[in-house]
Amino acid sequence: MNLIGYLCFCVFTLAAFVQGVQKCHGTPKMYNGKPCASTTNYHDGMQGACGCGDDKSDKQFDWSKSSWTAAANQHFFDSHNKHWCGEKCGVCVNLTTTGGFPSDGSHTAEGQSHVFMIVDLCPDVAPNLDWCAQTAAHPANKFGYAVHFDLENGVHQITQTLHWDNPEVTYEIVDCAHAHQADHKTPSPTNYHQCVCSHSAHGKK
């Protein structure tokens, strides 16, 4: 590469690093005909907002810690703003990387799909305000996404197994049982039936 080319490459790389690269566009953001979401990862060890753990100790179940599970932003988690047993508890989403990433991530290869079960809430309070503060009046987060998934990283399954660094994804709601058959890292409906919210009227599946 000549000097000019090299400089341009550096400037482009720097711009990509600072701003991220988004493949999803529109309102709401879409890619390949599917709705888009931002992602992060977390681990707090607790049973979470769907009660997937021991109710007394508040410790999450092993499967919830080590499988493909996620917390969803409040507005997606429950349309009536419930913090506990939201209507998306136990719902599975097929997440596919777009190759894009918002400014808080880095490049992740496009076209990787895994099915995550929603077992927790990403509440619209600090330190989640950049990602999870969507409302009906303000339907996008700071990076422009209507939906956000905070992915469970209890055994480093996101950072070390997948090497996902806050990638942009498309999402599609899919059947958990079929997805579990194809990949046992997706929790099964039997797993979900252990959760407190599977027995409450609202979160029942």
Nearer to ligand NAG, 46 or 174 (CB): 174
User: Catalytic one among 44, 55, 58, 183?
Assistant: 44
Alpha-carbon span 7 to 9, nearest angstrom: 5
For residue 157, the SS3 value is helix
What residue is closest to ligand NAG based on CB? 94
Distance in Å, CB of 114 to ligand NAG, minimum: 8
Q: Is 12 exposed, middle or buried (CB count within 10 Å of its CB: 0-12, 13-18, 19+)?
A: exposed
Contact 101, 76 (CB under 8 A): no
Distance in Å, CB of 14 to ligand NAG, minimum: 32
User: Catalytic one among 104, 130, 150, 165?
Assistant: 150
Phi, psi angles (nearest 5°) of residue 136: -60, -40
CA angle 42/46/52 to nearest 5° reads 105
Alpha-carbon span 69 to 157, nearest angstrom: 10
Distance in Å, CB of 178 to ligand NAG, minimum: 6
Distance in Å, CB of 86 to ligand NAG, minimum: 22
The sign of the dihedral angle between the CA atoms of 56, 60, 62, 64 is positive
- Using alpha carbons, select from 73, 86, 42, 69 the residue that is nearest to residue 204: 86
The structure tokens 């590469």 sit at 1
Q: Tell me, yes or no, if 44 is annotated catalytic.
A: yes
Nearer to ligand NAG, 111 or 127 (CB): 111
Nearer to ligand NAG, 83 or 184 (CB): 184
Nearer to ligand NAG, 103 or 113 (CB): 113
Distance in Å, CB of 175 to ligand NAG, minimum: 8
Nearer to ligand NAG, 5 or 33 (CB): 33
Q: Tell me, yes or no, if 55 is annotated catalytic.
A: no
> Where on the chain is the footprint of ligand NAG (CB under 6 A)?
94, 96, 113, 115, 174, 179, 182
The DSSP secondary-structure symbol of 193 reads: T
CA angle 150/116/131 to nearest 5° reads 20
Active site residue ranges: 44, 150
